[in-house]
Structure formats: C-alpha cells, structure tokens
Structure 1
Amino acid sequence: MPIRLASHVLPLLLCLLLALATPLHAQQPTAVIAAEARLESWSDPIEALGTLRADESVTLSATVTEIVAELAFGDGEVVEAGKLLVRLADDEEQADLRVAQALRDERRNAVNRLAQLQERNLAPRGDLEDARARLRQVEAEIQGLEARLANYRLRAPFDGVTGFRNISVGSLVTPGTELVTLDKLDVMKLDFNVPEVFLSLLEPGLTLTAHSAAYPDDDFTGTIASVGARVDPVSRSVPVRAELDNPDLKLRPGMLIEVVVQRQPRETMVIPEAALIPEGNRQYVLVLHENGDYQVERRQITIGARRKGEVEVLEGLSEGQLVVAHGTERVRDGQPARLLGILDDDTSVPEILRRERDASEAES
C-alpha cells in the first residue's frame, strides 16, 4: 500500500535533502574569535601577607639632663645624614671646654720653652718630659669634653624622614627622653611567612610583587633578600625578608602588604583558558589554519600551570598559531571559520563584536 504524505511535509523533506546534499565546503563559515599562542613570562606564585619595615629606623633620645635650646626639624621632613636635629643647652660645658683649651695653650707654650732650653742644655730633661705629660693630660680632657658636648647635639645618622615633633624649645629632658624618630624609607623591608613546604623553592634574588590596599592600582616590585634560619614549630612556616624600592616614599612602616612571590620564573607558551576543550584527562584546542578560509583542526595539547584567564601550554602548539578562544561550541574539526578578530592586550571581545556590528550596519 503506497504511503501518502501530507502536502505540507513535502517542502520540509525537500529542504532537509538539499541540506544533506550540500557539500561541507559550501556551508556558511562559523564566526569565531581567536587568540594567538605566544611566549610570555610565567611563574608559579606563592601568596602571603607581610608587614613593611623601614630599611633603617632609629629613635634619638636624650642622654643628659638639660633644656632643649633648638629644634632644627619639622614633622615629616626629609633630612640628610649629619643634619642637626636637636640642640640642648650646653653653655656650662662650652665654658669648661674653653678653660681646658686655654690650659692646653699654656702647657704647650711651657713645653716649647723647655724644649728650647733643653737644646742648649739649660733645663733638665725630666722637666721637659713632665711638661709634655701635663700637655697630653689636658688634651685628653679636651677630647672628653668634646665627646660629652656631642651628646648635646643630635644629628641624623642617615638620610631619612623625621617623625612628629612632640617637644618644644625650653622643655627639660632627661636621659631616655625620646626626642625625634628617623626612618630611611627609600628602600623598605618586607617581612612575611610562607609554609615550610616551599622552603626548598625560596632563595635570595627571587622576584616578587607587592600590593597595598592604600594604592590598589600600583604594583610594587622587589626581591627576596634573605630566608629565615628557623621554621616556626607551631605554624610550620618560615620567615622571609624582601626589599622593595620606594623612590616616591608611598610605602610606610607597618603597612599590611599582599605578597606574590614569582617562583620558578620561565618563558612559556600561553593561550587563553577559554580556548581549552576538556575531555576527561585530555585537553584539546581548535587550531585555525591561515589558508584563506581558516580551516579548523582539533588538536590535543599538554598543559601546565594555570593563572587567571590563562593556561600554560607544554606541548602541541607553536608560537604564533591561532586557536579559537570564543566559538568553540559552534565550530567543528575540518570546518571553515570566519575570523572576527584576534584577542590581545589591547583588544577585548566586546570591542571585536562592536567593530563587527558597525561593519555589518555600514554594509546594510
């Protein structure tokens, strides 16, 4: 008995037969966005939290009981090594020094007279030696007075930034009174702890990147200066100290810093993570051959580490090859593709789509 089909089914069957009969090369290419496999610097990061310290830090205190005679610094002032910061009243000590200097001149003249007489055998040699001994004695007293006078003048021991001034001229200070703080801030020390499992991977010279909540848009780079000699038996972590350049003096002691240590730095092949097509334990990508119609090849690759939005390729790709980054679910192995654009640091997916839309509107 012959099978009769409804009249409205015949056109649908005809369209289906035509579609099946259409050769693959005659199909409309699928639009895709690609990315280029490229060599980039890569490292396996170790993340931690650390605290900043000044490269050099000191609190200058009084060592004598006296009145402040002069303050030669302001709050947060950048000073050079050797600059006078605080002078205490030293009138009495200066007077003692002048007395000793006068006595030195007197005894020096006596030595000179006795030396001239001794040359003419008119004075005993013993008198000359005694005069020289008395001269050395007063010279030692002068050195002691000058050393004590240094305690009345506080100078910057190194280039740095002063703290707040909390004393005034005329204040009576005693030994131990804190007069001024000074911090060397052009280089900062960054102390942080990492788990002991990374101990074998840490060594002086490794680079790191530091971030502060105070400057969210800034990256501060530095290097590990030293690794602690002991592991904390409670936290099982090892202390690490790094050094950061701070030419703009943005970083300050005590700041909390996010640290990313660049472990095992290397040059490696990198593609966007969106280009991966996982199947069990295997990873595939769709390679675009630049032969005019961008024919698609499904290829297995071997991947390494991952980071935000990117993956390391160990085997399967060469530098400069194009892989499908967006549109992997619509295109198949062996099909032609229409390349809308190539992603890079300056070109994003929305920008590529906007350019394609503008071009389509211009043609229509």
Structure 2
Amino acid sequence: MSHTTTSGRAAGLLLLAALAAAPAGCSSKASAESAPEATAQPVRVETREVREQPMPRALALTGTLRGGRQTDLAANAAGRVLETFVERGAEVKRGDLLARLDVRAAALTAAEAQANAALARAQEETARRECARYGSLRDSGAISQAEYDRIADQCRSAPLSVAAASARARAAAQGVGDGQIRAPFDGVVTERFVEVGEYVRHDSRVVSLVSAGALRLSFTVPEASLAAVKPGGALTFTVPAYPGRSFSGEVRWIGAAVREATRDLVAEAEVQNPDHALRPGMFASIALATGEAPSPVVPRSAILPKEGRAHLFVVVDRRLEERVVQTGAEKGDAVAVVRGVRAGDKVVITPSEALRNGQAVE
C-alpha cells in the first residue's frame, strides 16, 4: 500500500514537471523567432524638418501631348507605289523623299498638255500675223471693217487659248511631280501606311509625320476656372512613363469660346523637349499655376518614386514610417506635399531603396 502511494506521487511530480516545461519551451521558441528583429541594428539617416513656405497654387488638369507640327501626309496623286524610303521612327528633313509612285500615265497626260500648249502658242503667232496683214488691207480699203473685226476677234482670243493650255500643262506636270512624295517639314515618321505594290489615290494616307522639336500640350479648363488660364502662364506636368520626373510648359494658345456640350475651354501649352523623352500621344497630369499659398514642402531628394506613386520616409518615435504622399507644385528644389505630411514632421532627405517601414533609427 505504501509502495503504491509512493509511485503515484512520483508520477504526479513528473507530470507537473512536464507541464511546467512545455510553456517554457514555447516561450523560448517565440523569443528565438523574434530575436533577429529585436537585435536588428538601427539605421543612420539624415533628416530634415518639414516646413511651410509660399508655393505656387495649382489647378489639377489632364491633357495630351501633340507634335508642334503633325500631319497624316496624303499622296496627292494616284498610282501604284513603286518604292518606299522610310520606316516608323525615321527622322527626315524637309524635302526628303518618302515614297515614289508609278506616274507613267500622268507623264503621258503631261506630254499631251505640253504639246497642246505649244500648238496654242503657234496658233497665236499665226493669228498675230493675220491681224497685221488684215490691218494693212483695211487701211488700203481692200477689205471692209467687218471683215477686219472678225479676224481681230481671233487675235484677241488666241492669247486666252495659250493661257488655258499652259495652265493645263502645268497641272499635268504637277501630277507627275506629286508622284515623288516628299516630307513637308523636318520631323519623325510615326507610321507608314503604304507598301510597295499598293494603289493609292489622291487622298490616301502615306505616312504620319510629327515635328521633332517643341511639343504642344493640349488640355481643357472647366468654365468655372477660366480665370486661372492666361497666355504665358506656367504649368508643370508628369507622364506615366517617367514616375517622379516633372516637366514644364508655358500656355501659348487659348480657345476663343467655351464648348457648350462640355462647358470647358481648350488651351495649349508649348513644351520644350530637348532630350526627346516626351512623345506625341502621351497622357499628362497637369498642375496649372494659379498663385501662391503656404504649403508643407520637402526636398526633391526626399521623394522616392515607387510603382508610379511618390513615397517618402518619416521618423516617428525613432522608427521609420513609409508614407505614400501626394505632391504638388515645385519651386527650385522644394516640392509641395498636398497630402501625407505636415509641418514639423521629420523626413529622410536621401532615402535609399534598402530602407524599410518600421526600421529603428539611431
């Protein structure tokens, strides 16, 4: 009986020891898992306090970039395409040959028109001699005034016939020349619409051509905001192809009337494009300057573009806090922040890609 009691007590003690050891093991495992984060080394960053300063106020608009000069070049002649000399993206100068048409039929028509013009000139010369001869006969009384007037009418109509025949000859020659399709201005070929062997008409598109210099930014202004747009006004804009990069332009052309259907006004800005980064057809998010107002600003270097949005890091309680912000107007190196930070926040002025949300700061 005593032996059984002693064995029971020993088993109970072992069970209690096992139960006590189990939580300790789990706690030890959790501590081990959290150890790397707890022991991570704090990062050293350079910060600057967000301050407010007068910044340009801006009206948010959208627009589309167009070439300064842009056209779908028509053939202006009829015929089969014999050769093409450009491809998409080719840079051309004014007068460069883009395509050549088969204009043999036009050449025959031109030759016929030139022959008719030569015949008309010969007939005019004959009529002039006849007029001189009939004038002498009239003066000597050999013919009547009525007979002379009949010949004189022919003399007066002969130069008109020459002029008409010469005009037809020039038109026919123009048709032959139009078979050589040339660039009307310096630019870049954005599209070629014809291939060798195709038959084109006068109104057939051959190439689409845009000038390679300054671009036009076309945008619309709501009727309620018309006072904000003036010739010479400054604007900045961004395009999805270059997140974090800002471009500038100057308002140059403003529509004369508000469109009744949409209650807005069409305006255009001139945009310089020295590095050819911008392309016609790009969509633009525009900030049209309308004045100045105090706004929180951060250095341009603090903005970190990610996936088409602006990010920055703020130090809060000695830890990094990554924020997505909405930026506004720019002035020198200062960028206005419309949403995401306020005056007094400490932002990292040169964030690196290695920084992470929640990291400790020295």
- Give the TM-score category using the shorter length: 0.5 to 0.7
CA-atom RMSD, angstroms?
Answer: 4.2
Residue in 1 aligned with 2:159? Answer: 132
Paired with 1:233 and 1:128, the residues of 2 have a C-alpha distance of 62
Q: Please tell me whether residue 242 in structure 1 is matched to residue 269 in structure 2.
A: yes
Distance change in 2, residues 1:108/1:232 (3 Å): closer
- Return the match for 2:336 from 298, 307, 324: 307
Please say if residues 296 and 337 of structure 2, whose CA atoms lie closer than 8 Å, have aligned partners that are also in contact: no
Q: Please tell me whether residue 162 in structure 1 is matched to residue 189 in structure 2.
A: yes
Q: Which structure 1 residue ranges, 5 or more long, are not aligned?
A: 1-32, 274-305, 310-324, 328-346, 351-364
Residue in 2 aligned with 1:56? Answer: 69
CA shift, 1:152, in A, is 3.1
- Return the match for 1:201 from 228, 239, 245: 228
Provide the TM-score with structure 1 as the length reference: 0.55
CA shift, 1:203, in A, is 1.8
- Return the match for 1:69 from 82, 85, 100: 82
Residue in 2 aligned with 1:354? Answer: none
Paired with 2:260 and 2:157, the residues of 1 have a C-alpha distance of 65
SS, match of residue 213 in structure 2: strand
SS, match of residue 238 in structure 2: strand
Please say if residues 113 and 165 of structure 2, whose CA atoms lie closer than 8 Å, have aligned partners that are also in contact: yes
Provide the TM-score with structure 2 as the length reference: 0.55
Please say if residues 208 and 260 of structure 1, whose CA atoms lie closer than 8 Å, have aligned partners that are also in contact: yes
Residue in 1 aligned with 2:284? Answer: 257
Paired with 1:89 and 1:349, the residues of 2 have a C-alpha distance of 64
SS, match of residue 308 in structure 1: strand
Residue in 2 aligned with 1:292? Answer: none
Paired with 2:297 and 2:273, the residues of 1 have a C-alpha distance of 34
Q: Please tell me whether residue 99 in structure 1 is matched to residue 112 in structure 2.
A: yes
Distance change in 2, residues 1:130/1:46 (3 Å): closer
Pairing of 1:154-303 with structure 2 (within 5 A): 154-174=181-201, 176-216=203-243, 218-224=245-251, 225-226=253-254, 229-230=257-258, 238-264=265-291
Please say if residues 89 and 152 of structure 1, whose CA atoms lie closer than 8 Å, have aligned partners that are also in contact: yes
Paired with 2:265 and 2:220, the residues of 1 have a C-alpha distance of 5
Paired with 2:191 and 2:88, the residues of 1 have a C-alpha distance of 5
Paired with 1:78 and 1:42, the residues of 2 have a C-alpha distance of 41
SS, match of residue 223 in structure 1: strand
The residue type paired with residue 105 of structure 1 is A
Distance change in 2, residues 1:97/1:238 (3 Å): closer
Paired with 1:44 and 1:222, the residues of 2 have a C-alpha distance of 16
The residue type paired with residue 206 of structure 1 is G
Q: Which structure 2 residue ranges, 5 or more long, are not aligned?
A: 1-46, 138-150, 299-334, 339-343, 352-362
CA shift, 1:44, in A, is 1.0
The residue type paired with residue 291 of structure 2 is Q
CA shift, 1:125, in A, is 4.1
Please say if residues 254 and 268 of structure 2, whose CA atoms lie closer than 8 Å, have aligned partners that are also in contact: yes
Paired with 2:283 and 2:195, the residues of 1 have a C-alpha distance of 33
Please say if residues 188 and 246 of structure 1, whose CA atoms lie closer than 8 Å, have aligned partners that are also in contact: yes
Q: Please tell me whether residue 45 in structure 1 is matched to residue 61 in structure 2.
A: no
Paired with 1:138 and 1:59, the residues of 2 have a C-alpha distance of 33
CA shift, 1:222, in A, is 0.7
What do the CA deviations read for 1:29-73 (whole angstroms, capped 9, x no partner)?
xxxx999x99x8731122222222223322223455421123233
Pairing of 1:78-93 with structure 2 (within 5 A): 78-93=91-106
Distance change in 2, residues 1:175/1:114 (3 Å): closer
Residue in 2 aligned with 1:25? Answer: none
Please say if residues 228 and 240 of structure 1, whose CA atoms lie closer than 8 Å, have aligned partners that are also in contact: no
Distance change in 2, residues 1:240/1:98 (3 Å): closer
Paired with 2:192 and 2:297, the residues of 1 have a C-alpha distance of 55
Count residues with an aligned counterpart.
251
Paired with 1:72 and 1:145, the residues of 2 have a C-alpha distance of 25
Distance change in 2, residues 1:133/1:208 (3 Å): closer
Distance change in 2, residues 1:205/1:89 (3 Å): same
Please say if residues 218 and 268 of structure 2, whose CA atoms lie closer than 8 Å, have aligned partners that are also in contact: yes
SS, match of residue 186 in structure 1: coil
Paired with 2:85 and 2:279, the residues of 1 have a C-alpha distance of 23
Distance change in 2, residues 1:202/1:135 (3 Å): closer
Please say if residues 193 and 238 of structure 1, whose CA atoms lie closer than 8 Å, have aligned partners that are also in contact: yes
Paired with 1:114 and 1:231, the residues of 2 have a C-alpha distance of 63
Percent identity over the alignment? 26
CA shift, 1:128, in A, is 3.5
